[in-house]
């Protein structure tokens, strides 16, 4: 079955279902794109631009990283994947072209080629509860189905990077007990795992600390300079964040818009929605970037009370 056939079938699925999806699941990530960065200077080029330490990445590994503007605001958050001959950036499709153009601005005389990799696809695999594979998070394994990269979170799952032929091999799982699932379910697993995301609506809205990016391994404070590095480092070494990302639930039949405000009863802004997805019909799980000073206040999103507000990551001890 081709990528096109998979995504066409996926659009016919209802999400959320009345019951939790039963693993194992195959999830085409049609709303995410891959940027390819290749050339003799690709590694050094990315090392000078991204928040994480690209030089520490081995072939077949991935890491979270960010790309900031000079004021330390995130243009995008993505999973960076190193392959033998190139690097791949997995990010929302609506940002792919603009981020490729922004990266190209820094190319100058570097021997680097930056393109949207239309020949590659990303899919998710969610294994059955009996899966006991202890492969380390972010580590990859090359197979006939593609490069499989273990993802964080309570669910045992892999991100798979495939080409056209490998995608057809992967789709054969649907003939052996696997089920096709909605991409929204993969996003829900990312939300639960504390993996932040930036979309067009939230581009340049958050610093890395406001999305807990350094707490989930997406920022290195030991590498060299990159755009916005001075702002990010100053907050880390000389201050403390006034906002952090939290998990909360609301009762609503519609998803809150990305970057929409969270307020108190008087309408004063306490934070903003990072991303959100349905758990069940009428129950929404949200990542919220919240002011720490307002955590004791009842928080409202579009008039709905935010319930079960919990920290997504703990501060590392100095």
pLDDT in tens, 97-132: 999 999 999 999 999 999 999 999 999 999 987 666
pLDDT in tens, 139-148: 999 999 999 9
83/77 Cα distance (integer angstroms):
19
Positive/negative CA dihedral, 205, 208, 209, 212: positive
Q: Which residue has the tokens 């070494």?
A: 237
What local confidence, expressed as pLDDT, does residue 129 receive?
A: 76
Rounded to whole angstroms, how far apart are CA atoms 301 and 249?
A: 10
Domains located in the chain, CATH noted:
3-192 (3.30.1360.120), 242-312 (2.40.30.110)
How far apart CA 34 and CA 154 sit, in angstroms, is 25
Please say if the pLDDT value at position 20 is more than 80. no
Contacts of 273 (CB under 8 A, 6+ apart): 256, 257, 258, 259, 260, 261, 262, 286, 287, 288, 301
Q: Which two tokens stand for residue 192?
A: 């639960």
Region of poorest pLDDT, from 11-20, 36-45, 60-69, 295-304: 11-20
Q: What does the pLDDT look like over 277-307, one tens digit per residue?
A: 999 999 999 999 999 999 999 999 999 999 9
Q: Is the pLDDT of residue 204 over 70?
A: yes
CA distances from 69 to 12, 49, 90, 147 (A): 39, 10, 19, 31
Binned at pLDDT 50, 70 and 90, residue 134 comes out as confident
The sign of the torsion formed by the CA atoms of 142, 53, 220, 290 equals negative
Pairing of strands 25-28, 179-180: parallel
Residue 317 pLDDT > 70? no
Report, as an integer, the average pLDDT of 168-194. Answer: 96
Q: Are 179 and 25 in contact (CB under 8 A)?
A: yes
What pTM value is reported for the model? 0.96
Yes or no: say if 289 and 274 are a contact pair by the CB < 8 Å rule.
Answer: yes
pLDDT-based confidence at residue 236 (cuts at 50, 70, 90)? confident
**Residue 257 · residue 250 · CB < 8 Å:** no
Q: What are phi and psi of 273, to 5 degrees?
A: -75, 125
Q: Which of 230, 306, 233, 234 is nearest to 264 (CA)?
A: 306
| Residue 133 confidence (pLDDT) | 72
Q: Is the pLDDT of residue 318 over 70?
A: no
What pLDDT does residue 117 have?
98
| Residue of 159 and 22 predicted with greater confidence | 159
Q: Taken in order 234, 314, 300, 254, is the CA torsion positive or negative?
A: positive
**Inter-axis angle of helices 164-171 and 3-10, nearest 10:** 50
Give the max Cα distance, the chain: 57
């Amino acid at each position: 079955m081709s990528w096109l056939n998979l995504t066409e079938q996926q659009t016919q699925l209802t999400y959320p279902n009345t019951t939790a999806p039963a693993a194992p699941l195959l999830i085409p990530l049609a709303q995410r794109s891959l940027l390819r960065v290749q050339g003799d200077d690709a590694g050094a080029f990315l090392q000078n631009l991204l928040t994480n330490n690209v030089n520490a990445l081995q072939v077949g590994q991935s890491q979270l990283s960010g790309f900031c503007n000079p004021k330390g605001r995130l243009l995008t958050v993505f999973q960076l994947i190193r392959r033998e001959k190139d690097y791949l950036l997995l990010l929302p499709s609506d940002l792919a072209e603009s981020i490729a153009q922004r990266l190209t601005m820094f190319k100058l005389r570097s021997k680097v080629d930056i393109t949207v990799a239309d020949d590659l696809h990303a899919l998710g695999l969610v294994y059955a509860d009996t899966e006991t594979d202890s492969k380390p998070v972010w580590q990859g394994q090359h197979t006939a189905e593609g490069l499989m990269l273990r993802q964080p979170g309570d669910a045992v799952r892999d991100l798979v990077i495939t080409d056209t032929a490998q995608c057809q091999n992967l789709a054969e799982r649907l003939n052996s007990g696997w089920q096709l699932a909605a991409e929204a379910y993969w996003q829900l697993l990312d939300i639960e795992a504390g993996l932040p995301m930036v979309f067009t609506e939230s581009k340049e809205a958050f610093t890395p600390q406001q999305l807990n990016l350094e707490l989930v391994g997406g920022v290195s404070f030991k590498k060299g300079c990159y755009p916005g590095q001075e702002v990010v480092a100053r907050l880390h070494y000389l201050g403390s964040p006034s906002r952090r990302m939290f998990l909360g639930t609301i009762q609503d039949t519609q998803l809150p818009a990305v970057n929409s405000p969270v307020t108190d009863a008087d309408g004063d802004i306490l934070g903003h929605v990072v991303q959100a997805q349905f758990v069940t019909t009428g129950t929404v799980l949200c990542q919220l970037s919240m002011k720490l000073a307002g955590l004791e206040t009842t928080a409202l999103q579009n008039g709905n009370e935010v319930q079960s507000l919990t920290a997504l990551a703990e501060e590392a001890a100095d």
